[in-house]
Structure 1
Amino acid sequence: MRISISALLCLSTALAAMAGQATAQPTKVEVRVIARGAKFLGGYTASTRVVLTDAETGEILAQGQTSGTTGETRRIMVEANVPGEKRSTEDSAVFRATLDIDHPRRVTLSVTGPLSQPQATTTATSTQWILPGHDLTAGDGWLMELPGLIVGLTQPAAYQWVKAGTTVPLRANVTMLCGCAISEGGTWAASDVAVEAYVTVDGAALGSVALRFDPKSAMFDASLPTAAPGLYEVEVRAWMGKTNNAGIARTAFFVH
């Protein structure tokens, strides 16, 4: 019995389609983002943006945000130092995706956060192979670390007007990137953090002022004397040398 060329082509096409359908496998991926020297970046509406991209084609395979809590302090900071111990718990912030892939993909992961604090937002990327049917969920999954500190200025108010000769209070709140509090003698000690304010007047450098930690308010404070009128621009820099973390916040006010 003879089989026509057109019939063979149709059969070949059908077999190829069936093979493609048969080999595509759902593959689970879990992504967690942890602050350097601290806990997971948690939240539910503005936490950490996650994008999974095919490194060779640029195709976006999955994207979204992590959702959940910052996790358990003792588990992350003490118990997880033991080899093989996972840092995350069931409620720890995570992004979950299922990729339908029929061949190995070289995947680039990009994470950006914390989205709720634009002055502290940073991005990290990593690339690895993902194989069909081999879930990337063991331990903490695909774990990414983000460096930095969150610095928030509560005083002075932006672009407020003050009289020349007035002493302007400087007050800054500094936390780890996960929002974990810095305190006197706590897990994240204030003694490990140096905070300074750099001031310019109409663009000319005035100098720097050190901010001291106030354990009652859990904030860093200083007083800034004003003399000449003009636009005072303030940049507050925080540095935690123990973990190589840094943070910046800026504001400005007028003196007349």
Structure 2
Amino acid sequence: MHFPIRVAWCLLLVCAGVAGPAHAERTDVEVRVLARGAKFLGGYTARVRVVLSDADTGEILVRGQTSGSTGDTRLIMDAGRKPGGKVSTADSALFRTTLDLDGPRRVTASVTGPLGQPQAITTATSTQWILPGRHLTAGDGWLLELPGLIVDLASPVAYQWIKTGTNVPVRAGVTMLCGCTISAQGPWRVADTEVELHVTVDGGAPRRYPLRFDPDSGLFGADIPADQPGLHELEVRAWMGPSNNAGVARTAFFVQ
């Protein structure tokens, strides 16, 4: 065999036997986050941080935040109870991204929020395989759930000074993580919600007071006695049994 022919034949064998580099494929991913027992998290009050990372190496692939509306209440609360039922609409809050994948990757999604309410922030994670060119956009996409309640103390002001012998008004707002309000007749009911105040003075044994719902203000409250001097530390605990949701807020004031 002549030399040029041998060279050409060898090159042909090499090309046939050695695969070239894999071609990366565009892969769309949509991540949505539901408040447990309620609606989507995103927008002005309930933004959620989303981080996608390689589950095997820890490499961060992309990060961002959800944006959009809380979604359709009736669809989420009714149709969403059906197995596999889609609960999102076109404007429902989500994080949308594109990955360029040259092979399957095991990806972990970590969602943290609501970012606008630090006392209520929690995190959930989920891991799954993502295949090149196989978009995670059908139905609700990659759907995760965050548990909890937002408890926000309206009064008293932190570390204010109060005279002994007076009554201190304690007022707290309680909502679902998505900011959805709790009311007497709505989908998230006062009757399902217990709110309790724990008060300690200078680290002593706690005293407990139930907080009652005021439909006019939409707040839970009680007036508690400032009957001894010292540092009064307040902890408001909210519990919604049907959805296994809990929330806590804390503050303190001085009595002199």
TM-score, structure 2 as length reference: 0.92
* 1:102 counterpart residue number: 102
TM alignment of 1:70-219, pairs within 5 A: 70-219=70-219
Q: Which residue of 1 aligns with 2:6?
A: 2
Task: Report the equivalent of 1:236.
Answer: 236
Q: Which amino acid aligns with 1:121?
A: I
Cross-structure match for 2:30 = 30
- Aligned 8 A contact 1:230 1:255 in 2: yes
| 5+ residue gaps, structure 2 | none
Q: CA deviation at 1:205?
A: 1.9
What are the superposed Cα offsets for residues 96-146 of structure 1, whole Å, 9 maximum, x if unpaired? 111000110000110000000000000000100001110001100000000
Letter in 2 for 1:99: L
CA shift for structure 1 position 45: 8.1
Distance 1:97 1:44, change over 3 A: farther
Q: Who is 1:54 aligned against?
A: 54
Partner of residue 252, structure 1? 252
Structure 2 contact 45–178 (Cα < 8 Å) conserved: no
How far does the alpha carbon of each residue in 1:197-252 deviate from its partner, in whole angstroms, 9 at most, with x for none? 10011111241100001111111010110111100000000000111000000000
SS of alignment partner, residue 204 of structure 1: coil
Equivalent residue of 1:3, what SS?
Answer: helix
Q: 1:19 aligned to 3, 18, 21, which one? A: 21
Alpha-carbon RMSD across the aligned residues, in angstroms, is 1.9
Pair 45,117 (structure 1): closer, same or farther in 2 beyond 3 Å: closer
| 1:79 to partner: Cα distance | 2.3
For 1:163, give the aligned amino acid. Answer: K
From the superposition, tell whether residues 62 and 208 of structure 1 become closer, same or farther in structure 2 (CA, over 3 Å).
Answer: same
Which contiguous aligned blocks of 4+ residues in structure 1 show a shift greater than 2 angstroms? 1-4, 79-85
How many Å apart are 1:59 and its aligned residue? 1.1
Percent of aligned positions with the same letter in both sequences?
66
Cα separation, partners in 2 of 1:235 and 1:33, compared to 1, 3 Å: same
Distance (Å, rounded) in 2 between the aligned partners of 1:221 and 1:177: 20
CA shift in 2, pair 1:44/1:218, >3 Å: closer
Deviates more, 1:161-170 or 1:205-214: 205-214
Amino acid aligned to 1:165: G
